[in-house]
Amino acid sequence: MVESDSSQDNSLRYDPAFRQELERLHRLTVYGRWGTVCLLWLLLAPPSLWALRSEFALWIDYFTWTAVRYAIAYNPIPAFCLSLCIGMTVAVLLWQSRNILWGISDRQTKRLERQLLQIRQQGPSHPLWRWVMNNR
C-alpha cells in the first residue's frame, strides 16, 4: 500500500495541472508572507515610532549607542514591536531570495504538495480552494 501511495505522488508530480496548482499555492504563500509583513508595519510600527519620538529627538542631538540602549531598556514594548517588524521583513526577504536563487527546497515542495492534496481532498469548502483551483 505504501508503494501505491508513492507511485500516486510521483504521477501527480508530472501532472501539469498539479504543477500549476502547486505554483499558485506557492504564490499564495509568498503573498501571505508579504501581507503579514505589511500588516505588521501598518499596525505596529506607527505606534512604536510615536512612542519613541522623544528618544529620536535625543538621538538627533547626541547619537550614542548608550542612548540607543537607554531607549530599548526603558521602552521595551515599542522596541520589541519594531524589532518584530524588522525581523519579519528580513526573514521574508531571505526566504524569498533563497527561493529565487536556488529554487524551492525539497522540504518546502513536499509541504506544499501535502497542503495541495489536503485542499483537493477537502474540496470547495477549503478556504484556499478558490485561489488554487480557479480553473476547475
Answer yes or no: are the C-beta atoms of 133 and 122 closer than 8 Å: no
**pLDDT of 124 higher than 80:** yes
Q: What is the pLDDT of residue 12?
A: 63
The C-alpha cell that represents 97 in the structure block: 531570495
**pLDDT of 7 higher than 60:** no
Burial of 7 (0-12, 13-18, 19+ CB in 10 A): exposed
Segments making up each domain of the chain, as ranges? 17-132
- Ranges 27-31, 87-91, 130-134: which has the least confidence: 130-134
Integer distance in angstroms from the first to the last C-alpha of the chain? 29
**pLDDT of 4 higher than 90:** no
Does the pTM surpass 0.75? The reply is yes
Q: What is the pLDDT of residue 5?
A: 52
Please state, in angstroms and rounded to a whole number, the distance separating the CA atoms of residues 3 and 5.
5
**pLDDT of 3 higher than 50:** no
**pLDDT of 18 higher than 90:** no
Per residue in 25-81, pLDDT (tens digit) is 999 999 999 999 999 999 999 999 999 999 999 889 988 999 889 989 999 999 999
Q: Provide long-range contacts, Cβ within 8 A and 24+ apart, for 95-104.
A: 95/33, 96/30, 96/33, 104/26
**pLDDT of 99 higher than 70:** yes
